[in-house]
């Protein structure tokens, strides 16, 4: 990651002039980007407007900051600009640096623009002696008052505490905070304003949308954001220190289809912060995890029976010829002694002998036994757990019943070494890492004195962990920061602790409705435990399909004993047509959204020349869905529709009709026929 990015290949500078004899204002700098868009920087005011195809989109945009506890002056005047050609992960472009008059501190507003991108990046860089800041606003702007029924989307910082995305109608007075990205969109026209951070190694960034009576809406990006209900912090953001301080780069754009814009935002995050983890080139993972039903009842014998069930009865539930069998929390109860990992190795060997991949679970930044006191020895070290606890202004950082431990502490690293080395020796090929958000907590101080913010600590901890894991395992994150984790894992849970019911399906699909775009930030996103249990066939279909359209499928029933779930799994999970969708590994996008914390009912994804449509009914009564192929982006005289669940085939012209019972779902394969 390069917070102050920009290679100078050709440089030229200019002064903003006050005007000419004819009254023309020459203090305006025009910075083009995309096909027909540009930034209009007004030097005299140190503010800028953003236009696309001649339309004003963002107006009176500017920046501000707090350094050494003092806020930037109300009026900052620009005195010069400098431009250079750059080439980076976004392609060829231009870097424009505008230096601002601000006393003893050199403040620069930087724009990264690319002719091949329908968005730009902006950033603030501060230079001086011994600077300290925990608050920079690199971007705040008014939105053009366009017609439509506009909503502001709340995006969570993580996937903990059953948190949901929330689409809120923007009716004055309105004010809402979101984590890392702001989305203001109209679901009918699909137009959308999007602004968000694409760098997460130093700052937590809050995005605020606001609409006051009689005024236009505003978006503000705040680097240095904490909120107990969003970031989980109960103290202020740590201060970034040095002679040069940079805000994160902020992605900013307006899109004809906000869904396409969010996919661009997801891709931009992966470009701005390329993966630290090795690239996964093997097939989309499928398999089983013990937390779905077994949970703390996990035993060695039960785990072996699951292996046999997959080997004997679920031979067709595979991608690339294999599936993962993953032991979640409480695998330590399979150990016969404190340091005896022999049964875990026997489990892993048994998986491999059946052509399956063994998986395991671990939480690297938590102390679950903290109530037993601080004097317990940290595994693999001479430190006590109390030495590692993350200190805050209120004492210690605790959430989900666990106390956070400092990711930069040598005791934490020794603990990582001990457990990861043991699990690798056992032969595990997958690891599910959990409660990672504990490692991003703000603290009064960290063991590593060069670290002063929670995200800096998270980066240090995750880089150390991933280096130790190496390239032996597929790495899957459960509870974790949504965007900052993209560099470190192959797959991430889209929502936490969903199991079997239609309500669990709806909860999961709320996150897919508004967070599907993370499929371009990670190799895969995952719908958590797919449990069939004793639910109805319709609820089983819905839960299974919620995983299929998220991108992977990790089942969770207790297959060590026979039950209704066993027979249903054999029928559901071995459908070749569904497995071909899973192999694609990408999440479906919503066709239309629903206000509040609800979930969309229609999701679509084009794979090759085929359009797939998943349809969900969360209610108890039957429902008819009328879907226009054009709304799905299909331009054809007619379409062939194959219901992959019922195997019914039909040909439709203007409208696709789907009748679903209550608490049920299906998936359609739609093939265009004729132009």
Q: What is the pLDDT of residues 152-183, one digit of tens each?
A: 999 999 999 999 999 999 999 999 999 999 99
Rounded Cα gap, residues 588 and 633, in angstroms: 14
- Residue 490: how many other CB atoms lie within 10 Å: 20
- Average pLDDT for residues 116-144, to the nearest whole number? 97
**What's the confidence (pLDDT) of residue 27?**
83
**DSSP-H helix ranges across 273-299:** none
Better pLDDT: 7 or 101:
101
Decide if pLDDT at 7 tops 50. no
Decide if pLDDT at 116 tops 90. yes
**What's the confidence (pLDDT) of residue 46?**
87
Cis? peptide before 583, omega within 30° of 0 = no
Structure tokens of 242?
């040095």
pTM: 0.95
Decide if pLDDT at 122 tops 60. yes
**What's the confidence (pLDDT) of residue 56?**
97
**What's the confidence (pLDDT) of residue 617?**
98
How confident is the model over 533-587, as pLDDT tens digits?
Answer: 999 999 999 999 999 999 999 999 999 999 999 999 999 999 999 999 999 999 9
DSSP-derived secondary structure for 56-100: EEEEEEEEEEEETTEEPPS--EEEEEEEEEEEETTEEEEEEEEEE
**What's the confidence (pLDDT) of residue 76?**
54
Q: At what angle do helices 454-469 and 410-426 cross, to 10 degrees?
A: 30
**DSSP-H helix ranges across 526-572:** 537-548, 564-572
> How much helix, strand and coil, in percent to the nearest 5, is found in the chain?
20, 35, 40
> Which range (204-208, 265-269, 338-342, 595-599) has the least confidence?
338-342
pLDDT band at 326 (very low <50, low <70, confident <90, very high): very high
Rounded Cα gap, residues 498 and 554, in angstroms: 12
**What's the confidence (pLDDT) of residue 43?**
84
Rounded Cα gap, residues 585 and 579, in angstroms: 10
> Which range (224-228, 467-471, 652-656) has the least confidence?
652-656
**What's the confidence (pLDDT) of residue 26?**
66
**What's the confidence (pLDDT) of residue 70?**
76
How confident is the model over 616-646, as pLDDT tens digits?
Answer: 999 999 999 999 999 999 999 899 999 999 9
Structure tokens of 615?
């349809």
Decide if pLDDT at 246 tops 60. yes
pLDDT band at 102 (very low <50, low <70, confident <90, very high): low
SS3 54: coil
Q: What angle do CA 613, 286, 491 make, to 5 degrees?
A: 85
Backbone angles phi, psi at 353, to 5 degrees: -65, -20
Decide if pLDDT at 77 tops 70. no
**What's the confidence (pLDDT) of residue 204?**
98
Q: What angle do CA 372, 373, 379 make, to 5 degrees?
A: 85
**What's the confidence (pLDDT) of residue 419?**
98
Which residue in 253, 181, 252 sits closest to 222, CA to CA? 181
Location of structure tokens 């239309």: 592
Structure tokens of 90?
């976004």
**What's the confidence (pLDDT) of residue 69?**
79
- Average pLDDT for residues 232-261, to the nearest whole number? 98
Q: Which residues pair with 124 in a beta bridge?
A: 109
Decide if pLDDT at 25 tops 90. no
Q: Which residues in 364-392 are b (16+ Cβ under 10 Å) and which e?
A: bbbbeebeeeeeeebbbbebebbbbbbbb
Residue 386's alpha-carbon distances to 371, 373, 407, 413, 438, in angstroms, are 11, 7, 14, 15, 15
Asked whether 310 and 288 are in contact (CB, 8 A), the reply is: yes
pLDDT band at 10 (very low <50, low <70, confident <90, very high): very low
Better pLDDT: 321 or 1:
321
Query: Which domains are seen in the chain, by residue range?
Result: 27-272 (2.70.98.60), 286-587 (3.20.20.70), 602-673 (2.60.40.1180)
How confident is the model over 365-411, as pLDDT tens digits?
Answer: 999 999 999 999 999 999 999 999 999 999 999 999 999 999 999 99
- Average pLDDT for residues 289-300, to the nearest whole number? 97
């Amino acid at each position: 990651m390069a917070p102050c990015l920009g290679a100078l290949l050709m440089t030229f500078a200019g002064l903003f002039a006050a005007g000419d004899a004819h009254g023309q204002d020459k203090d305006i700098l025009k910075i083009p980007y995309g096909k027909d868009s540009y930034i209009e920087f007004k030097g005299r005011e140190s503010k800028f407007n953003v236009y696309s195809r001649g339309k004003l989109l963002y107006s009176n945009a500017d920046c501000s900051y707090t350094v050494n506890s003092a806020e930037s002056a109300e009026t900052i005047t620009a005195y010069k600009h400098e431009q250079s050609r750059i080439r980076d992960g976004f392609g060829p472009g231009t870097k424009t640096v505008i230096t601002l008059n601000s006393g003893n501190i050199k403040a620069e507003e930087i724009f990264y623009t690319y002719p091949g991108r329908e968005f730009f990046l902006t950033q603030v860089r501060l230079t001086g002696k011994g600077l300290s800041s925990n608050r920079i606003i690199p971007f705040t702007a008014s939105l053009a008052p366009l017609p439509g029924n506009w909503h502001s989307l709340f995006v969570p910082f993580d996937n903990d505490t059953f948190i949901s995305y929330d689409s809120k109608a923007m009716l004055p007075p309105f004010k809402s905070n979101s984590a890392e990205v702001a989305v203001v969109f109209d679901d009918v026209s699909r137009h959308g304003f999007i602004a968000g951070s694409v760098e997460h190694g130093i700052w937590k960034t809050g995005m605020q949308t606001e609409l006051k009576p009689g005024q236009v809406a505003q978006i503000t990006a705040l680097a240095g954001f904490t909120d107990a209900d969003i970031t989980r912090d109960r103290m202020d953001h740590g201060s970034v220190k040095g002679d040069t301080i940079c805000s994160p780069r902020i992605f900013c754009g307006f899109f004809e289809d906000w869904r396409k814009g969010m996919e661009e935002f997801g891709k931009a995050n992966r470009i701005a912060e390329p993966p630290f983890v090795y690239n996964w080139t093997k097939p989309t993972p499928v398999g089983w995890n013990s937390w779905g039903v077994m949970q703390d009842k996990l035993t060695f014998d039960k785990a072996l029976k699951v292996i046999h069930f997959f080997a004997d009865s679920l031979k067709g539930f595979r991608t690339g010829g294999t599936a993962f069998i993953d032991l979640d929390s409480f695998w330590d109860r399979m150990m016969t002694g404190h340091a005896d990992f022999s049964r875990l190795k026997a489990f892993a060997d048994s998986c491999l002998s059946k052509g399956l991949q063994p998986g395991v679970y671990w939480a690297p930044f938590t102390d679950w036994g903290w109530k037993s006191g601080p004097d317990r020895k940290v595994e693999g070290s001479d430190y006590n757990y109390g030495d590692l606890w993350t200190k805050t202004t209120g004492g210690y950082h605790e959430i989900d019943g666990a106390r956070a431990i400092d990711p930069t502490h040598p005791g934490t690293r020794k603990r990582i070494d001990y457990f990861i080395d043991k699990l690798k020796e056992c032969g595990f090929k997958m690891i599910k890492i959990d409660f990672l958000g504990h490692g991003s907590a703000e603290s009064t101080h960290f063991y590593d004195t060069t670290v002063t913010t929670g995200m800096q600590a998270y980066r240090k901890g995750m880089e150390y962990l991933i280096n130790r894991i190496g390239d032996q395992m597929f790495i899957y994150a459960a509870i974790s920061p949504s965007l900052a984790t993209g560099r470190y894992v192959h797959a991430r849970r889209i929502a936490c602790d969903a199991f079997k019911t239609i309500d669990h399906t709806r909860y999961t699909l709320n996150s897919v409705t508004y967070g599907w775009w993370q499929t371009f930030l990670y190799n895969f996103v995952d719908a958590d435990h797919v449990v069939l249990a004793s639910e109805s066939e319709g609820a089983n279909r819905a839960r299974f399909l919620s995983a299929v359209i998220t991108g992977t499928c990790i089942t969770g029933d207790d297959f060590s004993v026979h039950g209704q779930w066993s027979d249903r799994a054999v029928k559901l999970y071995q459908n070749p047509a569904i497995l071909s969708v899973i192999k694609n590994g990408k999440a479906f996008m919503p066709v239309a959204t629903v206000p509040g914390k609800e979930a969309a009912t229609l999701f679509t994804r084009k794979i090759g020349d085929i359009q797939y449509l998943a349809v969900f009914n969360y209610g108890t009564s039957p429902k008819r869905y009328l879907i226009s192929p054009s709304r799905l982006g299909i331009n054809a005289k007619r379409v062939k529709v194959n219901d992959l669940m019922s195997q019914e085939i039909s040909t439709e012209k203007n409208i696709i009709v789907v009748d679903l019972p209550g608490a049920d779902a299906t998936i359609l394969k739609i093939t265009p026929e004729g132009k």
